[in-house]
Amino acid sequence: MPPNKQDLDRRLRALVHTASVMTLASVDSAGPWASPVYFLYDARQFFFYSAPDSRHIRSTRNIPAAASVHADSTTIKTICGLQMNGRILAVTAPRIWLTAGQGYIKKFSLSKTRIPSAPGDMGSIRLYAFIPESARYLDNGIRFGYKTWVKLP
């Protein structure tokens, strides 16, 4: 039996707040590319730090990207994750930089000196947001092959 909306929202929240790595997928003239990044989820956006000249940033400046987030799994019955498409945008608002930095410190138990709180704090490293345009949730714990389109909480 599929989960009700409340249970589905609970499962989605648990996934996006406990998973640590998002894989970004892009394509350029050299072909397809996948890049794992640590992320922080907030306000329906996935925040991550990267260098502006990294391949996954350069190749998505004017075109959509795809992303996936999944929970650690040791059996096929526990596969759970999100498949998404959307846009990667550079974050320039100082307030968001500060909030994301504080969120990273809390989520990843990092030293405050290792996370930038404003553009330029870590050389060329910048804050980006992956903003999903559509998201599909999959969860073999509900039923093998269970998938549904979702609006992220």
- Would residue 40 be called left, alpha or beta, if left means φ above 0 and alpha means ψ between -120 and 50 degrees? beta
109-130 pLDDT, tens per residue? 876 556 665 666 666 788 999 9
- Say which CATH number the domain at 27 has: 2.30.110.10
Of the candidates 53, 143, 110, 92, the one whose C-alpha atom is nearest the C-alpha of residue 101 is 110
Q: Is the Cβ–Cβ distance between 21 and 63 less than 8 Å?
A: no
Q: What confidence tens digit (pLDDT) does each residue in 34-90 have?
A: 999 999 999 899 999 999 999 899 888 888 999 999 999 999 999 999 999 999 999
pLDDT tens-digit map of 92-108? 898 998 898 889 888 98
Q: What pLDDT, on a 0 to 100 scale, did the predictor assign at position 67?
A: 98
Q: What local confidence, expressed as pLDDT, does residue 21 receive? A: 97
Burial of 75 (0-12, 13-18, 19+ CB in 10 A): exposed
Residue 61: per-residue pLDDT: 84
In 43-116, the DSSP E strands lie at 45-50, 65-70, 80-90
- Name the residue with tokens 């350029």: 28
Cα 20 to Cα 30: distance, rounded to the nearest angstrom: 28
What is the pLDDT at residue 90?
A: 93
pLDDT confidence of residue 112: 57
CA distance 21 to 15: 11
Q: What domain range is 142 assigned to?
A: 5-150
Mean pLDDT confidence for 129-134: 97
pLDDT for the residue 13: 96
Q: Residue 151 in contact with residue 9, Cβ under 8 Å?
A: no
Outline where 89-152 has alpha helix (H). 94-108
Whole-number pLDDT of residue 62: 82
pLDDT at 118: 60
Number of domains in the chain: 1
Residue 32: strand pairing partners: 27
